[in-house]
Amino acid sequence: MKKWKIYSIIVSVVLVLTILGVCLYMFVFRETISEAEAQDIAYRYAGVSSSEVTVLTIQKDREDREYEIKFYDDLYEYEVDVNYNSGRIVNFEKDLRNNVNSNQGDNNSNINVSMTEEEARNIALQRVGKNSNEVTFTRVRIDRENGITVYDVYFYDNEKEYEISIDVETKEIVSFKEDYLSNYNNNNTTNDYIGVDKAREIVLNHAGLNSSDVRFSKVELDIDYHIATYEIEFYHDYYEYDYEIDAVTGEILKYERGR
């Protein structure tokens, strides 16, 4: 009789532990928020509607139990992480898009970028004492730095590469950096580079896309260990493309495509 009671107690304990395990799984590990619901939560938090944005990626992170959602509208890029159990916003990032139309504003934040890209280029050229025929621009973008909106201007000449940040309101230079170029294989100069336009053409041909099909997020000249490359990133549909191109030969050194 005692053995039967002990056996009953063991069975009861096992059943209780099983029920607790199922409940733990249901409330901790099983997704209770669908992908579509997570998108709606992200849009509401960002203050936008689904018709105003384009989705870049939606990824499920099982380790952190969250949906990682990236999307953009006419002015901003957003990254929102939504816990798929509770629907709580875990992380929220909002940044001005690269190459955004500088005349657009945002009624919510009252940002009005009155400075044009051409003005930013001219201010940068005046700072280094060069004219447009003496340099090659690799990237001009609007960004937020230390609470102010700036134009980041990247370019190079035959000797140096420059990074200059300009306050769009005061038109003052708030950051300036210059570095001497390392010649490719110690023999080639920047005159040997294929140029940004040719580099873009190469990656688009490789991807089988047209310039009108994609949105470039990065086109930069990079020089490391005496090797000059163009680093190019762009989006098409829900995919991100990442290329590294030899700046002299145009050879594709690295290629990645992912969501």
Integer Cα distance of 72 and 101 in angstroms: 14
Predicted local distance difference test score (pLDDT) of residue 176: 81
C-alpha distances (whole Å) from 220 to each of 23, 65, 196, 232 are: 51, 35, 8, 7
Architecture of domain 105-180: Roll (3.10)
| Whether residue 59 has pLDDT greater than 60 | yes
Greater model confidence, 91 or 13: 91
Integer Cα distance of 163 and 178 in angstroms: 6
Report strand pairing: 105-106 vs 111-112: antiparallel
Architecture of domain 35-96: Roll (3.10)
pLDDT tens track for 227-256: 788 889 888 887 888 898 988 889 888 888
Helix (H, G, I), strand (E, B) or coil at 123: helix
pLDDT tens track for 201-235: 999 999 999 988 888 888 888 776 457 888 898 88
Mean pLDDT of the 127-146 span: 84
Q: CATH says 190-258 is which class?
A: alpha beta
Amino acid at 247: A
Integer Cα distance of 9 and 37 in angstroms: 44
Mean pLDDT of the 18-46 span: 72
- Looking at residue 52, what DSSP letter applies? G
131: which 2 tokens? 């004219």
Contacts of 121 (CB under 8 A, 6+ apart): 132, 137, 140, 153
36: which 2 tokens? 């579509």
Domain residue ranges in the chain: 1-30, 35-96, 105-180, 190-258
Question: Same topology for domains 35-96 and 105-180, yes or no?
Answer: yes
C-alpha distances (whole Å) from 43 to each of 84, 85, 87, 132, 155 are: 15, 18, 12, 42, 36
Report strand pairing: 160-167 vs 148-156: antiparallel
